[in-house]
A and B are shown apart, each in its own frame.
Chain A
Amino acid sequence: MDRYRVGVDIGGTFTDIVFLDSGGRVLTRKVSSSVEDYAQAIASGLAQVFDETSLAGPDVAEVRHGTTVASNAILENKGALTGLITTRGFRDVLELRNLRMPRLYDLGWEKPPELVERYLRVEVEERINARGEIVVPLAREAAVAAVDRLVAQGVEAIAVCLLNTFENPAHELLLKEVLEERASHLVHCISYEVLPEVKEYERTSTTVVNAYVMPTVARYLESLRRELAAASVDAPLMLMQSNGGLTTVDDAIRLPCNIIESGPAGGVVGAQALARKVGMPDVITLDMGGTTAKASLVEGGEFTRSLEYSVGGGIMQGSRLLTGSGYLIKVPAIDLAEVGAGGGSIVRIDAGGSLQCGPESAGAVPGPVCYDQGGEDPTITDANVILGYINPNHLVGGELTLNAARGREVFEARVARPLDLELAHAAYGAHQIAASNMIRAIRSVSSERGRDPRRYTMFAFGGNGPLFAATMAAALHMKRILVPPAPGLFSAFGLLYADVEHHYSRTFRRVLVESDPAEIDRAWRALEDEGRAQLVHEGFPAERMRFRRTANLHYKGQLYELGVAAPPVPSSGALDRAWLDQLAEAFGEEHERTYGHRAGPEEPVELVNMVLVAEGLPDAPVVPDTLYLDRSEDGAGGGSRNAYFGPEAGWLETPVVRRSDLAGGASGPLIVEEYDATCLVPPGARATLDDYGSIVIDL
C-alpha cells in the first residue's frame, strides 16, 4: 500500500490535517484546536482519520507541521522566565528599543512589556570595539558571577548579547562555556549563534525571543513526538519555518526564532509551487480567514521575504511606516501584510456617519449573528448571507445550521435602517468596504514596493478568500484569479510542497570596490560548510543539496539594506573583481526597481550581511499533478440562489455548482460550494478548471 505524507496546520480555532499519497489521493480532516496542549488535537485528528479509513500509523511516511505555538507563547506572555547578560553600559538595549512608537496622538500607548525584566538583565565588564579588537577583556570570574546571579534568581533560560560580538565572538563564547559548566540545566543561547549581525537592538531582541520560547517549543515538540509515537507514527517530523523552508525538530528546538511565523507560511509555499506548475510565476496571494486577511507577493516563482518583522505588533492598518510595535525578530520571513478583515469582522457606523468593517471581530465565539451562538454584532459573514453568496441554511459539510433571518434582522436594524439604505445595498456596501480594506494589504506588498498588481494573478485561499477575490481583483484591475483545491485547508496542504531550507548569515561590512574578493569568498564558504554539515546531519546526499548566496547591501551611508541574489561564481571557481562589479550592478538594479531610482557610480555600494541558503531537495516530486479529494463535494452544489451583485446588476438567479462542474468552463454568475469554502464568480467572468484542479477565473 502507498504511504502518505501528512500536513498539519494549527490555527487559533481549527487544526487542519491533510493526507496525501503518491497517487494524488487526498484525505482531509478539520478538528478543533486543543489550546491546552496542541499536540492532542493532532493526535485525535490522526486517530479519526485512521478510524475512518483502514490506515494506521506505519502508513504515514512523513509529517510536516506549521505551528503557532512559538508566536502564541509571545502573544500570551507565556514563555520562559529569561535572563539576559549584556555589556556594561548597555543593560537597557532591550527596553529602549529604537524609541519609535506605532501610534500617534495616543496618550494611552503602552510599550509591549520587555521579555526580560530589568532585574534579570545583568551586565559584565567587557568591551570589543567596532573592529573586533578587545578593549576591555572579560574576566572569567565576571562571567561566572553574572551566570550565578541569574541562576540564583531562578531563571529558566539565559540569553547573551554583547556589543560588537559579530566581529569577535570571544567573550560570548567564554560565557557559553561558563553557562555549560554552571547552568547546564537551563536553556541558553548567545547572539553570535542566533544572529551574528550588526545592530545591537535587533540582535538582542532576536536572541531574547529565541531564549524566551525555547522551553515552550521544546516541550511542545517533545509532546508531539510522544503522541505520534503512541499512534505508531514513526515517520520523520519536519517543521515549517518563517522563511518558507522546512527544518528538523532538533534544529527548531535550538533556534525556535526561525519558526515564529511558521503558521501562515504553508499556504504561501503551496501557492508558489502551484503557481509555478501552471506557468504563472507572478501571483499575489490572499489568505482570508475569520478574523484577518494576509497578502504576499510571489514573483518569478519565488516568494518575497522580509529581513525582519515584529511579532505581537497587532494588525497593521494600511501603513508600514509606523513601526515600533511588538517584539522585533530579525530573521528572514515570508513577507506578509495583514489587515483585520475576515468573515467575523464587525460592521458598524462610526461617529462621523461612515460605514466601517473591522478590525474588531466577533471571532469564532460568539461569531456572526447568523451562527446563532449569541453574536449580537452584524458581521461580514452576515452580509454575505444576505447577499446570497453563502448558503443560508447551513455551513457546507453541515456542521452548523445558520439562522439567516436573525442575521438579516440585526443587519437591517444596526446598519441598513440608520443609513436609510435598502438591506441588500447596505450588505453589498459592507462587502465592498471589507474588500477595500484588504486591498490596502495587497497594495502594501505590491504597489508600495514598486510592483504593479495588474501584472499579477490573484491566488485566493482561506475560508473567505475565494468569496472576496473577484471583488478585489476587479477593483485592482487584476485579470485572473486562481483558487486551489481545498482552499479552506490550503495552509496545511501547502506544507506538502515545501523543501528543507536553512538560512545562515553574518555581518561582513565591506565597501565593494575596496574589498578583497578572496576574503568574501572564504567567508561565504564558511557559511556553506555550516549548511552542509546540517544537511549531512539530516541525511541529504551531496547531489540533493543546493546552496544559494544572497547579499544584503546598501549605498554607504544608507540605513537599511536590500537583499539581492549573488551572481554566479565565475568559471574559474574564484570570485574576482568582475564578480564584485556584477554584484554592485545587481544591487543597483534592485534599488531602482524597488525604490524608483539608483545612485550614480560616485556612491560606493557596501556589503553589510552575507546570507547563505542551504536547501535539501526531495528525491522525487512530492505532490502529484492530479489530486482526488475525499470530501470536498459532500453535500455541496445543486440548484440556484438569488444573489445580489450591486445596484446595476441587481438580484440575479445564480446557479450553485460543485468544483467539478466547472471542468468544461462556465460563465458567471456562479457560486461554487465546497466543504471548506465558497467561491464567487461574478457576472461577466468566466471560470474553468486547470490541469491541477484549481479554479481559474478570468475577469
Chain B
Amino acid sequence: MAEIQDPIGFELFKNSLFSIADEMALTICRTTYSGVLRDNMDFSTAFADADGKLVAQGLTLPGHLGSIPTALDVVVERFGDDTHPGDVFILNDPFDGGMHLPDIFIFQPIFAGGERIAYAATICHHADVGGRVPGSNASDSTEIYQEGLRIPPLKFFDRGRANDAIWAFVERNVRIPIQVFGDLRAQLAACKIAERQFLELVDAYGIETTRTYMQEVINYAERLTRAAVAELPDGEFTFEDWIDDDGIELDKPIRLACRVEKTGDRMLVDWTGTSDQVRGAINNTLSFTKAASYTAIRSVLPQGIPNNEGVFRVIDVTAPAGTIANGVLPAACAARGLTGFRMVDCAFGALAMMLPDRVCAASDGGNTCITIGGYDAERQPFICVDFTAGTWGGRPWADGLQGNSNMFANMASQSAEVMEAEQPVQILAYELMQDRAGPGKFRGGAPYRRDIQLEEAEAVLQIRSDRRKIRPYGLYGGRPGRPSANVLNPLRNAQALESKVTTTMFRGDVIRHEWAGGGGWGDPLERDPARVLRDVRNEYVSAKSARDDYGVVIDTARWTVDEAATEALRSSLRSGRAAPPPPVAWTDEAPAEAAD
C-alpha cells in the first residue's frame, strides 16, 4: 500500500470531503421534521467511490455502519453501466440490500468528464412505511409481508426524470405520505448538495487526483486500522448471551454466539452458533450484524479513524444464513434493533475476553420501546412513542454511565412536559432506581423507570423490552444488573406484564417500565469504600446493599465509613466464598455466608 504522496494536499482534500459528508447530514437534519430523524439521529450520509466502496461517512449512526456498502453493492451489481447522470436509486428491502423496511436508502451517482466517479449516499429511518401497525415497527409481526412496503433496488429518477410509479406506490401504502415525501426530499436535497460541492472539489483537484485521493482516504483508514489491530493480542475469543424470547414463543431463549479471531493485523467476527431465525420481528440482516460487530470493535480501537472501506477490509464479519444474525425470507425484522443492541453487548463480551482491562460489562440491553396509541373523543388519532436506553455496564476503570444513551444508537429522551402537552398522558415519574445496578469494583449504571398515566378513555399499549429473564452480565467478579420489569398500575393492584406485550389501557391506568441495571465489573469487595459511601449518600445504593454486596459499613448519621468494621466484614465475606467468581456472571452466586 503506497504511502501518501502529498500529505498536505491529502489532508486538505480529506477535510473538504468529510465536511461535505457532514453538510449532507445537516441538510437532512434541517429539512426533516420527523422526530425519529431529528431527535434520534436515525440517519446517515456518505460518499462512495465509483465502485460503491465507502470513502467518507458524515454523521454515523453506529447502527448504519457497513449498511451503505451492502446496499450500494446491490445497486452497482444490478445496474452496472446502465447508470447515467441524473439517475437516483432507491431501496429498502432487507432481502435485497436493505436493513429493515423503515430505513430507505437513496443513492445518487456523480459524474465528471462523462465518467462516474462517486456516489452520494443517504439512509433515513422513515416514520412509517405502512404495514399492520403505525410506525411499521411491531415486534410481533411474523413475516416481512406484515411489515410494510418493500422497495427493491429501483431507479427513483431515470436520467433526471422522476419515476412517478414509485411515488404513487409509496403514497398509497404509507400512513402519512406528507411526512415520508418530505423526508425523501430531504434525502434528495442532501445528494444534490453533495454533488454540487463534490464537483467543486473535482474542479479544484482534477479528476485523476480526486480519484487517487479517494483511494488514499480508504488506504489511510486501512493503515490506521491495521496498525491499531496489530497491537491487540492474537487469539480466538468467544462469548455467548441470550435474548429472553421473541415475544411469540415465550419459553424459548434465543442464543447469540460470537467468536472473535484475531491474527496479526486482521480480525474476524463469526456469529456461527447463533440461534435460527425466529418468528418474531427481531431478525437481523447480515448488514445489521456487521454494524453491531463494527460498533463493538471500533470502540476498542483509537478514536479518529474514518469509517470507510479501509476499516471493513481489516474486519471480516460472517453469520450463517437462516440465523437471527442473517435472516432469510420471510423473516420479519422491523424490531431487529433489539437484537442489534444485544449483539453489541455480546461482541463486547468476546472482546472482554481478549482485553480484560478495556471493555465494559453488559448495558441495560438497549432501548425499550413503549407505544401508547388510540383515538380521542373526536376520533382523532394519537400515538405516544417513547424509545430510550440509558445505562452502561461497569468499566475496568470507572462505573458504568447512567442516564446516557447506548453506544449503538445515540438517541435522546423526550421532555415529559412536551409529552404531556401533546399527548393524553401524564408522566408520574422519570427517575433512577436504587440497588438495581450490578455491584462491582466499578458498578453498573443505575437504570431509571418511567411511570406513564393514560388521560384518555382507552388506548392500545405495546412494549418491546428484554433483559427480564437473562440479566445484564457482570464481568471479572462484577455482579449482573437487576432485570427489567413492566408493571400495570404499580400503586393500585399491581399487575406484572411480559417483557413484550400488547394490551389495552383505560383512563387512569399507569404503566411503569423499569429498565435493567448495568452489569458490574470486578469484585465488589474491592470497591473503594469512599465510592460506596457516596453511592449510599446519594441513594443509588442502600446501606444494606453496601453491607451485603460491598462489605462496607457506613455510619449514616455522620456519613463516614466505619473502616474497622468494613475491613472485618470484607475479610469475613471473602473467606465465606465457596469458589472464586466466574469471569462472566448472569446470576447471583449463592449468597456468601459471613464466617464468624
Contacts and interface: CB of A to CB of B under 8 A. Distances in A.
Interface of A: 88-93, 95-101, 103-111, 117-119, 129-130, 135, 163-164, 198-202, 318-322, 324, 349-356, 419, 421, 425-426, 428-429, 432-433, 436-437, 439-440, 443, 447-450, 509, 554-555, 557-560, 594-597, 599, 602-603
A463 to B, nearest CB: 24
Nearest to B35: A559
A429 B8 contact: yes
Interface stretch (B248-256, B412-420, B480-488, B494-502): B412-420
* A contacts with B: majority SS: loop
A318 B410 contact: no
Nearest to B358: A107
B38 A559 contact: yes
A198 B422 CA distance: 12
A518 B60 CA distance: 47
Interface stretch (B94-102, B157-165, B396-404): B396-404
A297 to B, nearest CB: 15
Nearest to B59: A321
Given A92-B431, A353-B3, A107 B360 contact: yes
Interface in B216-252: 220-221, 223-224, 227-228
B11 interface: yes
Interface string B1-44: 00110011011101110110011011101110101001101000
A100 B402 contact: no
B8 A96 contact: no
A599 B178 CA distance: 9
Given A100-B412, A559-B38, 14 more contacts: A92-B403, A95-B432, A98-B412, A99-B404, A135-B426, A319-B22, A354-B11, A433-B11, A433-B12, A433-B15, A436-B11, A440-B15, A597-B182, A597-B185
> Contact residue range for chain B?
35 or more
Contacts of B14: 354
A436 B395 CA distance: 37
A93 B430 contact: yes
B507 interface: no
Contacts of B212: none
Contact of B62 (A104, A108, A200): A104
Contact of A99 (B60, B397, B413): B413
B359 A104 contact: no
A111 B395 CA distance: 14
Which of B299, B397, B404, B540 has the most chain A CB atoms closer than 10 A to its own CB? Answer: B404
Contacts of B431: 89-92
29 contacts: A89-B428, A96-B403, A99-B412, A99-B413, A100-B405, A100-B412, A101-B410, A111-B404, A118-B539, A129-B426, A199-B417, A318-B22, A319-B25, A321-B26, A322-B59, A322-B410, A351-B302, A352-B223, A354-B7, A354-B14, A436-B16, A448-B26, A558-B33, A559-B35, A559-B38, A559-B418, A594-B30, A595-B31, A596-B189
Given A105-B298, A110-B398, A353-B223, A100 B410 contact: yes
A163 B416 contact: yes
B421 A90 contact: no
Name the 9 nearest CB pairs between A and B, nearest first: A429-B8, A89-B429, A118-B538, A96-B403, A130-B420, A595-B30, A105-B298, A558-B33, A199-B415
B390 interface: yes
A509 B421 contact: yes
A324 B451 CA distance: 24
A412 B298 CA distance: 34
A383 B405 CA distance: 42
Residue of A100, A163, A558 contacting most chain B CB atoms (<10 Å): A100
A119 B182 contact: no
With a 10 A CB-CB cut-off, give which of A96, A97, A352, A432 has the most chain B CB atoms: A352
A113 to B, nearest CB: 11
A587 B35 CA distance: 20
Contact of B220 (A95, A103, A352): A352
Contacts of B540: 118
Contacts, number: 210
Nearest to B26: A448
A92 B390 CA distance: 13
B30 A354 contact: no
Contacts of A602: 178
Nearest to A114: B403
A110 B182 CA distance: 37
Nearest to B300: A107
Contacts of A558: 33
Contacts of A597: 31, 182, 185, 189
Contact of A354 (B10, B413, B418): B10
A596 B27 contact: yes
B15 A104 contact: no
Contacts of B228: 351
B417 A99 contact: no
B584 to A, nearest CB: 18
B41 A321 contact: yes
B417 A111 contact: no
Given A99-B388, A99-B403, A597-B185, A351 B415 contact: no
B538 A117 contact: yes
Given A118-B538, A432-B8, A597-B185, A99 B390 contact: yes
Nearest to B23: A448
B403 A90 contact: no
Given A95-B432, A110-B398, A433-B15, A129 B223 contact: no
A200 B415 contact: yes
B420 A99 contact: no
B540 to A, nearest CB: 7
Contacts of B271: none
Nearest to B305: A352
Given A100-B405, A101-B410, A89 B451 contact: yes
Contact of A97 (B30, B403, B428): B403
B304 interface: yes
Given A199-B415, A354-B14, A107 B299 contact: yes
B327 to A, nearest CB: 26
B378 to A, nearest CB: 14
B84 interface: no
Contacts of B302: 351
Contacts of B62: 104-105
B469 interface: no
Q: Which of B15, B16, B301, B411 has the most CB of A within 10 A?
A: B15
Contacts of B11: 354-356, 429, 433, 436
Contacts of A202: 415
Contacts of A429: 7-8, 11
Given A200-B416, A200-B417, A318 B19 contact: yes
A597 B185 CA distance: 9
Contact of A96 (B178, B224, B413, B420): B413
Given A99-B404, A105-B295, A105-B407, A92 B421 contact: no
B59 A354 contact: no
A443 B19 contact: yes
B303 interface: yes
A321 B60 CA distance: 10
Contacts of B23: 443, 447-448
A269 to B, nearest CB: 27
B357 to A, nearest CB: 11
B247 to A, nearest CB: 25
A428 B360 CA distance: 44
B107 interface: no
A90 B26 contact: no
A302 to B, nearest CB: 21
Contact of B538 (A98, A119, A353, A595): A119
A451 to B, nearest CB: 12
Interface in B520-563: 537-540
Nearest to A557: B33
A596 B223 contact: no
Interface string B28-72: 011101010011010000000000000000011010000000000
Contacts of A98: 412-413, 415
